[in-house]
Amino acid sequence: MPALPSGRDAPPEKELSGRNLLLGVSGGIAAYKTAPLVRRFKKAGADVQVLMTESARRFVSPLTLGTLSEREVLSAIFPDGPGDPESEGGAWTKHVSLGLWADLFVVAPATAQTLAKLAGGFSDSMLMATALSAQCPLLVCPSMDRDMYAHPAVERNLRTLSGDGHTVMPAARGELASGLTGPGRMPEPSAIFDRVAAMLSDREEEKGKREGPRTAGGTEPAQAKPPPYPLADRRVLVTAGPTREPIDPVRHLSNPSTGTMGFALAEAAAQRGAAVTLVAGPTALATPPGVERVDVETADEMHAAATEHAAGADLVLMAAAVADYTPAAPSDAKLKKDRQNGDALVLRLHRTPDILAALGEKKPGGQRLLGFALETDDGPTHARRKLREKNLDWIVLNSPTREGSGFGTGANEVTLIGADGREEAFDRMPKRALADALLDRVAASTEAADAHRGT
């Protein structure tokens, strides 16, 4: 079987060395978290220019961020006037030169106000004007109170930004400064750092592809830049998270899946222009921008929702960790440990539907189906068997026993196996970066198949 080159192999720090980063900070409480972020960027060898909105300056001192970044923080487009050394020298054009200078622009935290301005194309501060001028990818990290984050206007602005080709990192869920709990927290600086590293690495890879691989005999012809929305007009179904199989009204059988991989795939597919439906088991994750979410609990409910939405889908990505067995007769009343059951409770379980196998059996012509295989031993053999038996186009083999991979971790180390016999082993990388890598492979192969069929 031909082995394809491995995906990303540099540790995240390496990706930042010698890069120029813009960090836009807007006025939310999470602004204080940008101090460790700047420090980490600098330690990794990046040159960092901080741009703050006026209200951000109330939350964190420009002196702090200026000292950490070793560059004067910029806020207003027009400096203060007479006496300001920059006012004479045309400093107002700085947004243009910064936009050309940067390899990546991160806006963190991005408040509701800043999101609205970014989505609307405003240019009333150095941050906004530079965002309009920037010739590099933009990563937006929203942060605000729970109910603001759920407001349709904010959701609309996030969709607009995704649709414009920018990357939105969904807010994390947890305790908020207001005392409410829910999605709205700025992702942790370490998660933002990893995403920045992954985006820089992707950019380098794309550049490499455009310039063409170097061979012993010289340079091969440059490849065309991939289209910005390779999944435009495609309908994509993703399943994610665990299922819960009730034992009685207060207990269930489940597994430790957090849904991170499936949510990352849904977000990555939406960013590539697809109309995405995400069928999600119980998880704490916020819905990625632009994604339609259907919440389910049990394997039976997931089966029904997946079957309904798979009907019109071009691509189905089954990342859910579906329980294989469910209690045969869940009790309507809470089971008591004394009277009914004595010292040993025996549960009778029956098989749940294998959703992936069912979809594979009914797969309409033209639909592509990707499954996951979670194996603790002899992974490749089991994965290839599942690929064949479930009529899949690809299977992603992962091993939860590998350190730092699998359930409940932010990273994964997988092998993508195609029905055409191609295999590609990816190094361990953040799940969101892995979602990008997987979708790039899937989208490229879908395009090639379409071109072959003449559609």
Q: How far apart are CA 286 and CA 263, in angstroms?
A: 9
Tokens of 168: 């939105």
Name the minimum Å distance from CB 397 to ligand CTP. 9
* Closer Cβ to ligand CTP, 168 or 392, answer by number: 392
Find the helix or strand (DSSP H, E) in which 133 lies: helix 126-133
Name the minimum Å distance from CB 352 to ligand CTP. 5
Name the minimum Å distance from CB 400 to ligand CTP. 10
CA distance between the termini of the chain: 29
CB-neighbour burial class of residue 334 (10 A; exposed 0-12, middle 13-18, buried 19+):
exposed
Task: State how far Cα 108 lies from the chain centre.
Answer: 16
Q: Site for ligand CTP (CB under 6 A): which residue of 77, 108, 318, 411?
A: 318
Which one of 75-83, 227-235, 286-294, 315-323 is the stretch in contact with ligand CTP (CB under 6 A)?
Answer: 315-323
Strands 172-175 and 181-185: antiparallel
Q: Which of residues 384-413 bind ligand CTP (CB under 6 A)?
A: 386
Which one of 52-60, 180-188, 314-322, 424-432 is the stretch in contact with ligand CTP (CB under 6 A)?
Answer: 314-322
Kindly state the DSSP code that residue 84 receives in the 8-state scheme: -
Catalytic residue list contains 255: yes
* Closer Cβ to ligand CTP, 173 or 363, answer by number: 363
Contact between 416 and ligand CTP per CB under 6 A:
no
Name the minimum Å distance from CB 331 to ligand CTP. 23
Among residues 20, 157, 255, 412, which one is catalytic? Answer: 255
Name the minimum Å distance from CB 47 to ligand CTP. 43
Binding residues for ligand CTP, how many (CB under 6 A)? 14
Which one of 58-66, 153-161, 269-277, 317-325 is the stretch in contact with ligand CTP (CB under 6 A)?
Answer: 317-325
Instruction: Report the DSSP beta bridge partners of residue 3.
Output: 423
Which one of 39-47, 70-78, 110-118, 370-378 is the stretch in contact with ligand CTP (CB under 6 A)?
Answer: 370-378
- Phi, psi for 382 (deg, rounded to 5): -65, -40
Name the minimum Å distance from CB 322 to ligand CTP. 4
Q: Could you count the other beta carbons within 10 Å of the beta carbon of residue 438?
A: 25
Task: Please give the full DSSP string across 357-371, using - where no structure is assigned.
Answer: HHHHHTPPTT-EEEE
Tokens of 254: 């489940």
* Closer Cβ to ligand CTP, 186 or 299, answer by number: 299
3-state DSSP: the chain helix, strand, coil percent, rounded to 5?
A: 35, 20, 40
- Phi, psi for 394 (deg, rounded to 5): -145, 150
Contact between 371 and ligand CTP per CB under 6 A:
yes
* Closer Cβ to ligand CTP, 28 or 281, answer by number: 281
Long-range contacts of 374-377 (CB under 8 A, 24+ apart): 374/321, 374/398, 374/399, 374/400, 374/406, 375/399, 376/400, 376/401
* Closer Cβ to ligand CTP, 112 or 305, answer by number: 305
| Whether the Cβ atoms of residue 332 and residue 249 lie closer than 8 Å to each other | yes
Fill in the per-residue mask, 322 to 361: x = in contact with ligand CTP (CB under 6 A), - = not in contact: x-x---------------------------x-xxx-----
Instruction: Report the DSSP beta bridge partners of residue 276.
Output: 236, 291
Strands 251-253 and 429-430: unpaired
* Closer Cβ to ligand CTP, 35 or 356, answer by number: 356
Which one of 22-30, 126-134, 334-342, 368-376 is the stretch in contact with ligand CTP (CB under 6 A)?
Answer: 368-376
Find the helix or strand (DSSP H, E) in which 184 lies: strand 181-185
Name the minimum Å distance from CB 278 to ligand CTP. 13
Contact between 372 and ligand CTP per CB under 6 A:
yes
Which residues are catalytic, by number? 255
Binding site residues, ligand CTP, CB under 6 A: 299, 318, 320, 322, 324, 352, 354-356, 371-374, 386
